Homo-oligomer: A and B are copies of this chain.
Amino acid sequence: MGVKIADPLLMREINKYHVLETIRHHGQISRVEISERTLLSGTTVSAITGALIEEGLIQATHTQVNGESQRGRPRVLLGLVPDAAYVLGIKISEAMTTVTLVDFRGESVSSVQLPVRLARQPAEVIADLIEDAMDDCVNKADIDRKRIRGIGIGVPGLVDPRSGKSYSSSVFGEREVPITSLLEGRTGLPVKLEKPANLMALAESWFGYAQSERSFAVVALDQTASLGLWVEADLHRGASTLGPTFGHIKVGGAGVVCECGQRDCLNAYVSEAVIRRKAADAMGPDFLGSAAARADLKQALADAAVTGNPAASALLAELGEKLGVGISHIINLINPEKIIIALESAQLGEAMAPALRAAAEANSFRAHFATTELIFHTLDDQLWARGAAALMLRDIYSAPWTPAY
């Protein structure tokens, strides 16, 4: 069915949602303009904004002289109340754990980064770590803890948002970690879990390049390649609720065996471990030991490529080519309006882009390639963490017409 039975209360909720979304999107907006944009009558907009003010979600900020005429009663601009709610966004990865406190508008209030290398740690240890970081983050911001409404968290590896469990993640020692219930138990707050690529997708949809797209994809290249898919105005999770698999999609090639046992998986060409091995061969024995490569391998390769190292260029071009083949599958099957390739640095994008675009074009149907825009976006820890927060914010803004997930 897709849509709930309608009754007057739902009607009001739907319109309230539209008004709140309009305000969120525009930051500061007058009642008249809300009315124009939503097509709701002025009367209704007044009633709804009145209720929202009552609830403490929005407030009158200042008045604005109207458009051109400069005459008549000035419009009162309405905006979200920043501290109507706070949400914590957490990003865990092998090299860095980031905690960000986000206000009701989605703006970052404070942030804590832990440059701790995690690999196969006991879940309890990581939970301790996160708990401390959250405390720091909240203390720094000096806000009322009661206003924190929940936690969104992104964990690398296989993640099931429905059960809230993380499976065989490289950061955890255990194979299966009920990360949400672990954190819920410690904090008493609702916790939502997603895979990083889905958080990126959420972030792009709320704050980034995809604010009004019906369908787009985010390809993230971190330890492995992963994919977040946004279809029909929502994350696509598929039948398993695990979200799309991108790292194990087949990209052709020499039949290289992936660690999953299958052949020619994308990850068999682009995962961090594989790149490390190839870099050792191609760049000489000293490269891996260099400070730059130890800090960020791909970044070091990109720097080398930019400064004219042919081996580094060739390696990154191969990376781009394999990613491009994988992306061609997305273009052929889904043909989203945009595919956002999230990378750690702009140099990396420059080094990979030509080969990636060429491979994508060479392997996808022309009409589809022409309508899907490829965008390179420097991956930003803050944005990512804000995506995690948006995961929880979504619940507060919840679209009322679809039955609960």
Copies of this protein in the complex? 2
Are B18 and A250 in contact, CB atoms less than 8 angstroms apart?
no
* Residues in A45-76 with C-beta less than 8 Å from chain B: none
CB-contact partner of A401 in B3, B229, B240, under 8 A: B3
Extra pairs beyond A215-B239, A231-B236, A232-B236 (5, CB < 8 Å): A231-B231, A236-B334, A239-B368, A242-B335, A245-B332
A300 to chain B: closest CB distance in Å? 31
A183 to chain B, nearest CB (A): 23
26 A-B Cβ contacts within 8 A? Answer: A1-B233, A6-B6, A8-B11, A11-B11, A215-B236, A215-B238, A215-B239, A231-B232, A238-B334, A238-B371, A239-B335, A239-B336, A239-B368, A240-B335, A240-B368, A242-B335, A242-B368, A244-B334, A244-B335, A245-B364, A246-B332, A249-B332, A250-B363, A262-B363, A329-B329, A329-B333
Contacting residues, chain B, for A372 (C-beta < 8 A): 238-239
Q: Which residue of B lies closest to A362 (CB)?
A: B262
In the complex, what distance in Å separates the CA atom of A335 from the CA atom of B243?
Answer: 8
User: Restricting to A301-325, which residues have a CB under 8 Å from any CB of B?
Assistant: 325
* Residue A128 lies at the interface, judged by CB distance under 8 Å to chain B: no
Interface residues on A, range: 35 or more
Task: Provide the bound-state CA to CA distance between A334 and B249, in Å.
Answer: 11
Asked if A40 CB lies within 8 Å of chain B CBs, one says yes
Residues A254-281 near B (CB distance < 8 A): 260, 262, 264
- Which B-chain residue is minimally distant from A336 (CB atoms)? B239
How far, in angstroms, from A236 to B335 measured CA to CA in the complex?
9
A334 touches B332 (CB 8 A): no
**A15 part of interface (Cβ distance < 8 Å):** yes
CB distance from A215 to the nearest CB of B (A): 7
A250-B329, A334-B333 are known contacts. Are A6 and B1 too (CB-CB below 8 A)?
Answer: no
Per-residue B-contact encoding for A350-370, CB less than 8 Å = 1, 0 else: 000000000000111101101
| Residues on the B chain within 8 Å of A97, using CB | none
Q: Is the CB of B238 within 8 A of A325?
A: no
In the complex, A38 has a CB within 8 A of chain B: yes
Provide the residues of chain B in CB contact with A12, threshold 8 Å: 6
Residues from chain B with a CB closer than 8 A to the CB of A11 are 6-8, 10-11
Is A227 among interface residues, defined by CB-CB distance under 8 A? yes
Is residue A404 within 8 Å, beta carbon to beta carbon, of the partner chain?
no
Partner of A333, one of B227, B234, B262: B227
A330→B239 CA distance, assembly (Å): 12
A window 196-249: CB within 8 A of B: 215, 227, 229, 231-234, 236, 238-240, 242, 244-246, 248-249
